[in-house]
Structure 1
């Protein structure tokens, strides 16, 4: 795919649990000339802080797709990227967007087992402190804002809702998508093992590729440029890349 073609393609970024659209704002400068980066804005955070957050991935996808399509425009072309919770939400969106005259060129999932695999260890329902310890264990870091009472009061309900919808997620459709999937994992991710990240191979009837980047479950915090370079390299393959068992980028 040429640079001109990519410039007409939107990179639709779906946030992970507890994150807002602003996480992806720095990606806009890094992606200049390659894609238009458009983050999905979910209720309960940032500009939509007063709205009730979703507790179902399927509901979130169905209720977001109209706004996404309106923002992309008729006949739009998009690559979808989602990390962790964002990966399964992006997967649901691919099914919906493909039926709405949006050409989904590729799904890039990150830090996630296949859509049919649920976590064995859960955070949902735990008391606040135990919940935060479990989430910190999952993510590999603790957001500094959680140590400030006022910020914690704002963030905790959204984080709980996000964890609940992630841990209770069951795909709405058993059929795999018809677009290429690239699965990315942090090479030292203790939450998602390599074999689990490669389960996405069964979620597509098209091409599949797997790559690892240095870091743990939240590798993308420090590896944004490498993530975008990897997506560009995958897009250049046009869906015909061989399927490596493991590839470091």
Structure 2
């Protein structure tokens, strides 16, 4: 039996099942860090194509939520707070490093709440990048997680985030349905708790034709930070990242560079 390949060894080298790493990144122990948070039903592999370019600028850590891929046998968290708990604990070894947080769709909610948590702990990130999600202040009653399997899969198909041929495969559907349903429950039962605004700057990205979030809904994130705010719109729908990978990567690098140049947030280590 052969040993694990290089990518697998790198992915396991973070020391936590909650974080994967596909590329080594800058060798300096003081190098910036960017953590990427997946969407509902997503996994760490979704961000693997983004990692090589980002890793020339920062150490790239990608969240791997329970209930998918190598964590398939673990219970799926059904609230945003539980996802934040896992990622926050896994990031402890990187405390003191210049951190940027990025999340798409459900990952944006996780990223926002993670940033709130880290700021309260005096370890706030240098910046937060939110993609494909309306402001946490804008609640919308939804019940996708309560629907039947076909309706749940139909919602994912409509967003064009996963190959339709895979979604038509019964075996694949069986694998992803528990995580997908649990993630939708987490998102749909999320309620924003009042609190002080973020100190970190916030950058928001959306697809111009996203049926799930309009420009005004995305720009409403501005109300939740006292830091700088930027907004970018790209051609495409909810999963605009798929077709706009190079442009999105450039935007992430731009934000990462600006955020890393900021002074250490007050109360943070380092």
Counterpart in the other structure of 1:140: 160
Write the distance in 1 (CA, Å) between the matches of 2:140 and 2:154: 16
Shift of 1:173: 4.8
Q: Give CA-to-partner distance per residue, 1:125-163, whole Å, 9 cap, x none.
A: 1111122223333x2355432222122111001100011
Within the alignment, does 1:38 sit opposite 2:38 as a pair? Answer: no
Write the distance in 2 (CA, Å) between the matches of 1:47 and 1:110: 26
Write the distance in 1 (CA, Å) between the matches of 2:240 and 2:75: 29
Please report the TM-score for the alignment, with normalisation by the length of structure 2: 0.79
- Asked whether the equivalents of residues 62 and 96 of structure 1 are also in contact (C-alpha less than 8 Å), the reply is no
> Number of paired residues?
234
- Asked whether the equivalents of residues 113 and 192 of structure 1 are also in contact (C-alpha less than 8 Å), the reply is yes
- Out of 134, 137, 146, which is 1:125 matched to? 146
- Asked whether the equivalents of residues 9 and 35 of structure 1 are also in contact (C-alpha less than 8 Å), the reply is yes
Shift of 1:227: 1.5
- Asked whether the equivalents of residues 140 and 218 of structure 1 are also in contact (C-alpha less than 8 Å), the reply is yes
Please report the TM-score for the alignment, with normalisation by the length of structure 1: 0.85
Write the distance in 2 (CA, Å) between the matches of 1:145 and 1:184: 27
Shift of 1:232: 2.5
Any idea what SS the aligned residue of 2:145 has? coil
Q: Which runs of 5+ in 1 are unaligned?
A: 241-249
Counterpart in the other structure of 2:99: 78
Q: Which runs of 5+ in 2 are unaligned?
A: 1-25, 262-270
Q: Give CA-to-partner distance per residue, 1:75-102, whole Å, 9 cap, x none.
A: 1221111000000001111122234454
> Within 5 A, what are the aligned runs for 1:62-211?
62-70=85-93, 72=94, 74-100=95-121, 102-137=123-158, 139-143=159-163, 144-211=165-232
Shift of 1:50: 0.8
- Asked whether the equivalents of residues 28 and 36 of structure 1 are also in contact (C-alpha less than 8 Å), the reply is no
Any idea what SS the aligned residue of 1:124 has? helix
Counterpart in the other structure of 2:21: none
Counterpart in the other structure of 1:246: none
